[in-house]
Amino acid sequence: MTISLSEKQQCVVVVGVGASQGIGAAVSRRFAQEGLKVYVVGRTLEKAEQIAIEIKNNYGDAVAYCLDAEDPIQVQQLFQSISLSQEQLVAVIHNVGGNVPSIFLQSSLTFFSKMWHSTFLSAFWVSQSSLKIFQQQQAGTLIFTGASASLRGKPFFAAFTMGKSALRAYALNLAQQYKAQNIHIAHVVIDGMVDGDRVNKALFGLGRLARMTRGTGGLNIDVIAENYWMLYQQTADLWTHELDLRPHQEKF
């Protein structure tokens, strides 16, 4: 018996979920609040499970899933399992790639390759698998978490700039290709320090001190998540394909 899309449970995949106080976790919670089943996908099963439990206890339905987003086989297996399930995939959020500094003339090809795989190639694998499903449905939302490095790179972040600038161009290209098929693709520029665990715990708390000293206050992860939800809610009458998010004190 074939089940129509309207009868299937709607689900969202958030790839790149780490700490509870991070963008991925905040987005997972926000979408779960609206009754969507959330696949909390991260490299560390324990962290993903903690967030999934938190969501089930307080927000809605979630399942933890562990994979390496740089591994095409693992990514394909996740989306194939969803495709074969009684669920409708309505949104995918790619939130992978950390900004690691390096002195350019001392940077190895291995380091650059690793950053490329993390910031860009993981997005290629995730988008390719999700778009196959969206294309069949003639509907879906794909959101990429970008960075200000996609527009202007800072010293010591050449590798990160390479990956994020490629991601931005790639996301906007896909948006042009798939908009006629009712598939909304958006790139979000996160410009500034995120008020989350990665910054606040960096260098034994010096990250939080630097954030407070700068006076930016940091980007609130729940407000970021609210903007992702806003993108998902948009209709084809008027879609946002690129969104810049920054505190009002941040220079640009």
pLDDT at 185 over 50: yes
Q: What percent of the chain has pLDDT over 90?
A: 71
SS3 40: strand
Residue 100: pLDDT band by 50, 70, 90 thresholds? confident
First to last CA, the chain: 55
Most confident among 16-30, 101-115, 186-200 (mean pLDDT): 16-30
pLDDT at 122 over 80: yes
The alpha carbons of the chain give a radius of gyration, in whole angstroms, of: 18
Contact 11, 89 (CB under 8 A): yes
What residue spans define the domains of the chain?
5-238
Average pLDDT, the chain: 90
pLDDT at 199 over 60: no
What is the number of other CB atoms lying within 10 angstroms of the CB of residue 188? Answer: 24
What is the number of other CB atoms lying within 10 angstroms of the CB of residue 35? Answer: 11
Per-residue pLDDT, 1: 46
Q: Which residue has the higher pLDDT, 75 or 205?
A: 75
Full DSSP string of 58-113 = HTS-EEEEE--TT-HHHHHHHHHHHHHTTEEEEEEEE---------GGG--HHHHH
Measured distance CA(114)–CA(62) in Å, rounded? 30
pLDDT mean over 95-124: 89
Q: Which CATH class is domain 5-238?
A: alpha beta
pLDDT at 173 over 70: yes
b/e burial code for range 1-13 (CB count within 10 A of at least 16 → b): eeeeeeeeebbbb
Measured distance CA(48)–CA(197) in Å, rounded? 15
Lowest mean per-residue pLDDT among 13-22, 45-54, 187-196, 234-243: 187-196
Q: Which residue has the higher pLDDT, 176 or 201?
A: 176
pLDDT at 193 over 90: no
pLDDT, tens digit, 9 for 90 and up, residues 216-231:
568 999 999 999 999 9
Per-residue pLDDT, 213: 62
pLDDT, tens digit, 9 for 90 and up, residues 23-70:
999 999 999 999 999 999 999 999 999 999 999 999 999 999 999 999
